[in-house]
């Protein structure tokens, strides 16, 4: 591992925003207040699919206190946004495509008036047949969610056609020939459900407009730059007219990565020519924004009798909902990652996303990997059972070792997977028998325990970042990266990286809040990319500052720059002669007042490692041409299953993550633990349920996430440091890694406990009990 | 009732006792304590996460006991002292909790944190040495989507220990 | 025409409260607020006047009466009921149920009167008070009357309360013996997917009630008779079948009707075995 100055990296520094959060003074979007501001409210579509024939706003306009109303008539047909396919207007125009879609919005003197006014808006709909099932949507005579889908602008070869939003295929080797060389082949279908993000903070935005028409937009977001792009594209605004800022954000998990109410709020502010704030209710957030893609997965894996994996075919169908959003990326990424961290020479991975008349499905922690890992890691256990080989032995035999590339040939230069597996095998006491909590209970009334394992991976490198480091007049440092801290602690981690690079204590570095006016471009807080991609920018910008510091110091100390070194605490000294030094403050003074000008260090880059080696894999419809740098996870869970009710609870979880280097061990562990519990909800409890085309459970009464009561007795995160050579101080990222294997590990543990193999999520008590009864009937 | 009148009906003066001070506000019959705290008194620690009493982000103390501000009507809180997180910042118990939360990493986005701290503060007041089961029971009504809860439990335990420690030292 | 009083009304006695409700049929009684205010926030109800029962002393507290019954005032919060040492023997089923309602913070707010008046079939009190053979005291402006708990729950969200009436107390006649309230839910704090409340008197008489499996709590005289003579696994299975035959469960997000039917005999068995250990204790 590269040596550290020890001022910052590797320290469990508490979050820099901790005081505000612990005193309740942190300002989230709903806490922002402007004197005289208007309040916004939305009108939602009652129909899953309908043409909008017209609006009657007269009653709404007449309500005292109403200041602006916007509808699709205020939008231009040409202006559409979308991360991969420009298919989405700012809100519904011409048609509504899902129940709950924003059809109109009102700004008024109070929220109560705004909400009352929305109920006075009359919309003339012509109902159309709706399609809610993705397979039905791809049938030849299905109603078209987007009639003009082929004409939309796309950023890659999506293959869009009718309700086919995108299609992707990756092949490696010769799968069709390879089955013949397999001694065992297992094939099965898995289905996964829509999961709601349930960030504790519902979405919202606040837009201010100046006399010249320039807008300042605050919103709960994961990327000020994606907000800017989406609002400007969907409203036809030049980017110079919109400044996007970030308050404290109450989590996102992907829900706040792309636009939500921002375009509507900006348009309201423009129409009212006053500040407008709009915060969605919990129900509106559930119904309107986005959720995790349901997947239907057909997967087939072949191996030799010694357990060596030979061939994999996987076909997926994603429910994309009404708009493309991040769907093509989720599809492509899921297919890239479905092999898991294993060598499989012959692979065909293909899939499609279908438009349906439901809310858009989009980014959610894991981005398709929890879904395919559920299928693939479950299948590996079934394969192990069929071959008669130990579940861990099968994985050890095939897992990627240092030197192996990822599926498709991308080089991996740090791989700590073996240590991850070793530690969870040991710590979970895998080799010992599980406890039998009710040894004397009769059959049908027992509590049964079992263990399951899953290995998975996630990337760290994607798209662009920049960083600006400035030396302030007193020698302290200001860092500006544009990366949004959504609670995961990126502000703290990036500050630590900068401090370490300049050998400063953390409290001598301040970090600016993301602002499209002042911050360098950062694609967003998503894809687990901030520590790695933005961290590298921070290192690069700090290196520039170091160069400039030394240039000054060389002149001040009359020596060559190669004879100089940084000392901890903000000094530049002659190597080996600590007394011959100048402080950062001295240098800054010289620069500001005498020579050279203020010290500014910058760095800008876009991740450019190619996803695939064209000699190793063929790709069709590849949404990310450059994505990579792999972190690895080994996860063991122990479950307890109640035979009487089928209910499963997790009693122990041991999750080891190779993250290259833990910049902040406490924050990294927090990500792993939080991801586990969120994954546990995904595996056992959470499900968005549709009643026809209407979401039946858009409330926290009916949609349940794990409570403290569900916390396993043992939940352990282990940090493995394999030192990624390209990473900032060796770091890779950790934000999503911990969720990917959870559903699979739990499914495998249930099979271990009770011999029931579930292939549908969530694995509710009902589904488990049905499985128990079916296997009892079969035997 | 027509939507228009629902929007404007019934605001009347109400005097509340919030954090030891008299707060004189106007509230409609259906106006919740949460709305008054946040919008009229600008005490924004209590958050609106669901407005149905499920998430716990609005938890405050009424009559010395943790309750949901979103399920409490402003007019129903007359003569019932209300204490929010802002009104507990000076207590040794809250300061011990804050220190423990900070060093344990018991919060991430922080949105649930005020509600958790109020509930934990009340727990330690009634049970200075709660075991893990007691902590889970007291805090099961506070949802957190970020931390996975383990560090919250550890932080409450740690705060309890640190509050007990000075007394132990004194008697040692 | 006299103007209706608007806003929050604060009666000091049951008589004042029922008179206010009689005068203004659109006014709603407010107890802990846990149910009513959630509905107001969702705009499911929009009352123009609320009769706040908080100042009525008679409605507060749990006490032992001279005749050996236990009177739980309607405005008793779940946290009090869950901590009340008077609720022993068969009455224990009520304190067990109280302790499983929602979560600690909501238990500080909700009241037994408010809860049972709403008659959401997913609630915890209804099967417990039916198993305990409680009676419900009801007041109107004209009179007080009592209704057996089993007759109080009439249909989905419908009770025996007439317009203008309020629950004033739940009255238990505890017997020596044991009891258990078993709640099966998706996660802590959730409503029950299904529940079983069982009281076993020292002499062996059993009352077994199933909750969340139909519009009202489910009892069957033949099932109780069977269990009162025989608590073997086989007898419990038969009794479970009788109860299941009376069930009319919903398909909802907590579970399908079929799953609830499967749960009935299983939860019944668990509740009986747990009640037996509480007799021994």
Chain C residues whose beta carbon lies within 8 Å of the beta carbon of residue A644: 266-267, 269-270
Nearest neighbour of B109 by CB, restricted to A200, A699, A709: A200
- pLDDT band with cut points at 50, 70 and 90 for residue A443: confident
What are the residues facing A648 on neighbouring strands?
Answer: A641
* Interchain pair A699, B150: CB under 8 A: no
Coil, helix or strand at residue A64? coil
Whether C105 contacts chain A with CB within 8 A:
no
Chain C residues whose beta carbon lies within 8 Å of the beta carbon of residue B137: 104
pLDDT of residue C1: 40
What distance in Å separates the CA atoms of residue A413 and residue A405, rounded to the nearest whole number?
Answer: 9
* Interchain pair A112, B86: CB under 8 A: no
* Interchain pair B67, C109: CB under 8 A: yes
Q: Give the minimum alpha-carbon distance from C273 to chain B in angstroms, rounded to a whole number.
A: 24
* Interchain pair B140, A26: CB under 8 A: no
What distance in Å separates the CA atoms of residue A216 and residue A270, rounded to the nearest whole number?
Answer: 11
Chain B residues whose beta carbon lies within 8 Å of the beta carbon of residue A202: 48-49
CATH number at B92-163: 1.10.150.120
* Interchain pair A708, B7: CB under 8 A: no
Q: Give the minimum alpha-carbon distance from A261 to chain C in angstroms, rounded to a whole number.
A: 21
C-alpha gyration radius of chain B: 18
pLDDT digits (tens, 9 = 90+) for A191-229: 999 999 999 999 999 999 999 999 999 999 999 999 999
Closest chain B residue to C31, measured at CA: B76
Q: What are phi and psi of A185, to 5 degrees?
A: -130, 130
Question: Rounded to whole angstroms, what are the CA distances from C226 to A41, A200, C131, C223, C233?
Answer: 59, 50, 15, 5, 12
pLDDT of residue A440: 87
The stretch B28-57 carries a mean pLDDT of 97
Q: Give the minimum alpha-carbon distance from A2 to chain B in angstroms, rounded to a whole number.
A: 27
Chain A interface test: which of B90, B150, B153, B156 (most A C-beta within 10 Å): B150
What distance in Å separates the CA atoms of residue A659 and residue A531, rounded to the nearest whole number?
Answer: 10
* Interchain pair C33, B71: CB under 8 A: yes
pLDDT of residue A442: 84
Question: Rounded to whole angstroms, what are the CA distances from A101 to A97, A130, A198, A294?
Answer: 7, 14, 18, 19
The stretch A312-341 carries a mean pLDDT of 98
Chain A residues whose beta carbon lies within 8 Å of the beta carbon of residue B10: none
* Interchain pair C259, A766: CB under 8 A: yes
* Interchain pair A707, C187: CB under 8 A: yes
* Interchain pair C109, B70: CB under 8 A: no
The fold of B8-85 is Ubiquitin-like (UB roll) (3.10.20)
- pLDDT band with cut points at 50, 70 and 90 for residue A110: very high
Average pLDDT of chain A, as a whole number: 97
User: Taking a C-beta distance cutoff of 8 angstroms, is the pair C129, C76 a contact?
Assistant: no
User: Taking a C-beta distance cutoff of 8 angstroms, is the pair A374, A761 a contact?
Assistant: yes
Q: Does position A439 have pLDDT exceeding 90, yes or no?
A: no
Q: Does position B8 have pLDDT exceeding 50, yes or no?
A: no
Chain B residues whose beta carbon lies within 8 Å of the beta carbon of residue A711: 136, 148-150, 153
Domain boundaries, chain B: 8-85, 92-163
Chain C interface test: which of A766, A769, A772, A777 (most C C-beta within 10 Å): A766
Can the peptide bond before residue A719 be classed as cis, meaning omega within 30 degrees of 0? no
User: pLDDT over 90 for what percent of chain A?
Assistant: 97
* Interchain pair C253, A696: CB under 8 A: yes
Q: What strands, in cross-sheet order, belong to the sheet with C206-211?
A: C177-184, C194-201, C206-211
pLDDT digits (tens, 9 = 90+) for A126-181: 999 999 999 999 999 999 999 999 999 999 999 999 999 999 999 999 999 999 99
Q: Does position A506 have pLDDT exceeding 50, yes or no?
A: yes
Q: Does position B2 have pLDDT exceeding 60, yes or no?
A: no
Element (H, E) at C128: helix C125-131
pLDDT digits (tens, 9 = 90+) for A172-199: 999 999 999 999 999 999 999 999 999 9
Q: Does position A581 have pLDDT exceeding 50, yes or no?
A: yes
Q: What is the CB neighbour count within 10 angstroms for residue A443?
A: 7
* Residue pointed to by tokens 């740690």: B158
pLDDT of residue B159: 98
Closest CA relative to residue A634, chosen from A429, A374, A336, A418: A418
Chain C residues whose beta carbon lies within 8 Å of the beta carbon of residue A769: 259, 262
pLDDT of residue B169: 47
Chain B interface test: which of C40, C49, C105 (most B C-beta within 10 Å): C105
Dig out the tokens for C69 from the structure. Answer: 């019954």
Nearest neighbour of C104 by CB, restricted to B9, B12, B137: B137
Contacts with A219 (C-beta within 8 Å, 6 or more apart), sequence order: A29, A203, A204, A205, A206, A227, A244, A246, A256, A260, A261, A262, A265
The stretch C101-127 carries a mean pLDDT of 95
Nearest neighbour of C46 by CB, restricted to B6, B53, B137: B6
- pLDDT band with cut points at 50, 70 and 90 for residue A18: very high
Residues in B 11-50 with any Cβ partner in A closer than 8 A: 38, 42, 44-50
pLDDT digits (tens, 9 = 90+) for B52-69: 999 999 999 999 999 999
Q: Does position B171 have pLDDT exceeding 50, yes or no?
A: no
* Interchain pair B29, C48: CB under 8 A: yes
| Chains interfacing with A (3 or more CB pairs < 8 Å) | B, C
pLDDT digits (tens, 9 = 90+) for B77-95: 999 999 999 999 999 999 9
User: Taking a C-beta distance cutoff of 8 angstroms, is the pair A92, A34 a contact?
Assistant: no
Task: Please state the length of chain B.
Answer: 172
Q: Do domains B8-85 and B92-163 have the same CATH topology?
A: no
Q: Give the minimum alpha-carbon distance from C275 to chain B in angstroms, rounded to a whole number.
A: 23
pLDDT of residue B79: 94
pLDDT of residue A1: 57
Nearest neighbour of A488 by CB, restricted to B51, B104, B108: B108
- pLDDT band with cut points at 50, 70 and 90 for residue B1: very low
Full set of structural domains in chain C with CATH: 7-53 (3.30.43.10), 61-172 (3.30.465.10), 177-280 (3.30.390.50)
Q: Give the minimum alpha-carbon distance from B53 to chain A in angstroms, rounded to a whole number.
A: 9
C-alpha gyration radius of chain C: 19
pLDDT digits (tens, 9 = 90+) for A725-757: 999 999 999 999 999 999 999 999 999 999 999
Nearest neighbour of A486 by CB, restricted to B7, B57, B109: B109
Q: Give the minimum alpha-carbon distance from A645 to chain C in angstroms, rounded to a whole number.
A: 6
pLDDT digits (tens, 9 = 90+) for B90-122: 999 999 999 999 999 999 999 999 999 999 999
Closest chain A residue to C188, measured at CA: A709
Closest CA relative to residue A628, chosen from A537, A722, A532, A534: A532
| Chains interfacing with B (3 or more CB pairs < 8 Å) | A, C
Chain B residues whose beta carbon lies within 8 Å of the beta carbon of residue A221: none
Chain B interface test: which of A25, A222, A250, A686 (most B C-beta within 10 Å): A250
Q: Give the minimum alpha-carbon distance from B72 to chain C in angstroms, rounded to a whole number.
A: 7
What ipTM goes with this model?
A: 0.97
User: A612: buried, middle or exposed (CB in 10 Å: 19+, 13-18, 0-12)?
Assistant: buried
**What is the pTM for the complete model shown?**
0.97
- pLDDT band with cut points at 50, 70 and 90 for residue B7: very low
Whether C15 contacts chain A with CB within 8 A:
no
């Amino acid at each position: 591992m590269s040596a550290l100055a020890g001022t910052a990296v590797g320290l469990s520094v508490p979050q820099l925003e901790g005081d505000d959060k612990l005193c309740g003074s942190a300002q989230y979007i709903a806490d922002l207040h402007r004197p005289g501001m208007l309040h916004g409210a939305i009108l939602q579509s009652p129909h899953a699919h309908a043409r909008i024939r017209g609006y009657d706003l007269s009653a709404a306009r007449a309500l005292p206190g109403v200041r602006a109303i916007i509808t699709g008539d205020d939008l231009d047909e040409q202006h559409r946004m979308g991360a991969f396919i420009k298919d989405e207007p700012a809100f519904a125009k011409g048609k509504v495509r899902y129940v709950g879609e924003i059809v109109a919005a009102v700004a008024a003197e109070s929220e109560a008036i705004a909400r009352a006014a929305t109920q006075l808006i009359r919309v003339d709909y012509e109902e159309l047949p709706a399609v809610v099932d993705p397979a039905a949507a791809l049938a030849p005579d299905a109603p078209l969610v987007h009639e003009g889908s082929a004409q939309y602008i796309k950023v890659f070869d999506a293959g869009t056609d009718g309700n086919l939003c995108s299609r992707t295929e990756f092949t490696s080797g010769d799968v069709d020939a390879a089955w013949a060389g397999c001694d065992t082949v297992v094939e099965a279908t898995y289905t996964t459900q829509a999961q709601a993000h349930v960030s504790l903070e519902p979405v919202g935005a606040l837009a201010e407009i100046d006399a010249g028409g320039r807008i300042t937009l605050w919103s709960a977001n994961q990327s000020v730059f994606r907000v800017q792009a989406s609002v400007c594209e969907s409203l036809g605004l030049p980017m110079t007219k919109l400044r996007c800022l970030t308050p404290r954000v109450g989590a996102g998990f992907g829900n706040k990565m792309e636009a939500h109410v921002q375009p509507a709020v900006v348009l309201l502010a423009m129409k009212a020519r006053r500040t407008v704030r709009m915060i969605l209710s919990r129900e509106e957030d559930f119904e309107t924004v986005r959720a995790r893609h349901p997947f239907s997965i057909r997967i087939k894996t072949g191996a030799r009798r010694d357990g060596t994996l030979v061939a994999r075919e996987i076909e997926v169908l994603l429910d994309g909902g009404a708009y493309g959003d991040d769907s093509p990326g989720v599809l492509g990424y899921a297919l890239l990652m479905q092999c898991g961290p294993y060598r499989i020479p012959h692979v065909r991975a293909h899939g499609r996303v279908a438009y349906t008349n439901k809310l858009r499905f989009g980014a959610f922690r894991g981005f398709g990997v929890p879904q395919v890992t559920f299928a693939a890691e479950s299948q590996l256990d079934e394969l192990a059972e069929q071959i008669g080989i130990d579940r861990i032995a099968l994985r050890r035999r095939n897992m990627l070792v240092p030197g192996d590339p990822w599926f498709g040939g991308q080089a991996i230069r740090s791989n700590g997977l073996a240590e991850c597996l070793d530690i969870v095998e040991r710590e979970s006491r895998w080799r010992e028998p599980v406890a039998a909590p009710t040894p004397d209970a009769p059959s049908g009334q027992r509590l049964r325990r079992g263990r399951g394992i899953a290995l998975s991976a996630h990337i760290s490198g994607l798209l662009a970042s920049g960083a600006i480091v400035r030396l302030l007049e007193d020698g302290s440092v200001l860092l500006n990266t544009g990366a949004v801290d959504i609670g995961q602690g990126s502000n703290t981690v990036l500050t630590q990286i900068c401090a370490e690079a300049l050998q400063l204590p953390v409290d001598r570095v301040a970090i600016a809040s993301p602002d499209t006016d002042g911050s360098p471009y950062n694609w967003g807080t998503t894809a687990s990319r901030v520590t790695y991609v933005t961290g590298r920018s921070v290192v690069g910008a700090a290196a520039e500052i170091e160069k400039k510091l030394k240039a000054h110091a060389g002149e001040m100390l009359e020596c060559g720059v190669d004879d100089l070194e940084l000392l901890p605490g903000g000094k530049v000294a002659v190597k080996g002669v600590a007394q011959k030094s100048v402080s950062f403050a001295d240098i800054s003074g010289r620069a500001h007042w005498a020579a050279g000008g203020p010290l500014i260090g910058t760095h800008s880059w876009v991740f450019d490692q190619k996803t695939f080696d064209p000699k190793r894999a063929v790709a069709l419809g590849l949404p990310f041409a450059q994505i990579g740098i792999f972190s690895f996870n080994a996860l063991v869970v122990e479950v307890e299953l109640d035979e009487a009710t089928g209910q499963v609870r997790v009693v122990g979880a041991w999750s080891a993550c190779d993250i290259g280097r833990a910049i902040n061990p406490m924050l990294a562990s927090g990500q792993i633990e939080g991801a586990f519990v969120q994954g546990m909800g995904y595996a056992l409890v959470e499900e968005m349920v549709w009643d026809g085309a209407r979401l039946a459970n858009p409330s926290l009464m009916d949609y349940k996430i794990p409570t403290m009561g569900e916390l396993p007795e043992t939940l352990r995160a282990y940090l493995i440091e394999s030192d990624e050579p390209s990473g900032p101080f060796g770091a890779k990222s950790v934000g999503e890694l911990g969720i990917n294997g959870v559903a699979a590990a739990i499914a495998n543990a249930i099979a271990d406990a009770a011999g029931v193999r579930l292939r549908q999520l969530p694995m509710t008590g009902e589904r488990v009990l049905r499985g128990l009864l079916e296997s009892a009937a079969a035997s | 009732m027509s939507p228009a009148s629902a929007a404007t009906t019934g605001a009347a003066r109400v005097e509340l006792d919030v954090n030891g001070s008299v707060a004189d506000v106007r509230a409609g019959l259906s106006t919740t304590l949460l709305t008054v705290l946040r919008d009229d008194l600008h005490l924004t620690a209590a958050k609106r996460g669901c407005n149905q009493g499920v998430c716990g982000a609005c938890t405050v103390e009424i009559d010395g006991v943790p309750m949901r501000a979103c399920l409490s009507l402003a007019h129903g809180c007359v003569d019932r002292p209300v204490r929010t997180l802002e009104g507990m910042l000076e207590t040794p118990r809250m300061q011990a909790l804050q220190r423990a939360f900070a060093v344990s990493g018991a919060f991430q986005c922080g949105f649930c944190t005020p509600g958790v701290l109020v509930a934990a503060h009340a727990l330690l007041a009634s049970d200075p040495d709660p075991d893990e089961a007691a902590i889970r029971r007291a805090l099961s009504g506070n949802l957190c989507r970020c931390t996975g809860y383990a560090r919250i439990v550890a932080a409450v335990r740690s705060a309890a220990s640190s509050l007990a420690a000075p007394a132990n030292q004194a008697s040692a | 025409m006299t103007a209706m009083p608007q806003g929050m009304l604060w009666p000091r006695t049951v008589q004042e409260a029922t008179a206010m409700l009689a005068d203004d049929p659109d006014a709603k009684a407010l107890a802990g607020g846990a149910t009513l205010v959630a509905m107001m926030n969702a705009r499911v109800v929009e009352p123009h006047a609320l009769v706040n029962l908080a100042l009525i002393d008679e409605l507060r507290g749990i006490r032992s009466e001279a005749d050996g019954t236990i009177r739980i005032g309607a405005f008793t919060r779940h946290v009090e009921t869950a901590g009340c040492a008077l609720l022993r023997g068969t009455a224990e089923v009520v304190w067990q149920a109280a302790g499983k309602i929602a979560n600690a913070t909501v238990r500080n707010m909700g009241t037994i009167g408010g809860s049972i008046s709403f008659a959401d079939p997913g609630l915890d009190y209804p099967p417990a008070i039916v198993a305990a053979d409680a009676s419900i005291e009801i007041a109107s402006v004209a009179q007080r009357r009592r209704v057996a708990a089993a007759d109080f729950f009439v249909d989905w969200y419908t009770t025996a309360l007439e317009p203008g009436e309020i629950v004033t107390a739940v009255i238990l006649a505890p017997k020596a013996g044991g009891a258990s309230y078993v709640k099966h839910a998706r996660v802590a704090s959730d409503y029950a997917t299904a529940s079983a409340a069982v009281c076993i008197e020292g002499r062996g008489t059993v009352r077994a009630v199933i909750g969340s499996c139909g519009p009202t709590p489910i009892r069957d005289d033949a099932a109780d008779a069977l269990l009162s003579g025989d608590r073997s696994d086989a007898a419990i299975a038969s009794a479970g079948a009788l109860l299941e035959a009376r069930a009319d469960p919903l398909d909802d997000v907590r579970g399908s009707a079929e799953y609830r039917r499967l749960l009935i005999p299983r939860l019944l068995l668990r509740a009986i075995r747990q009640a037996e250990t509480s007799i021994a204790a």
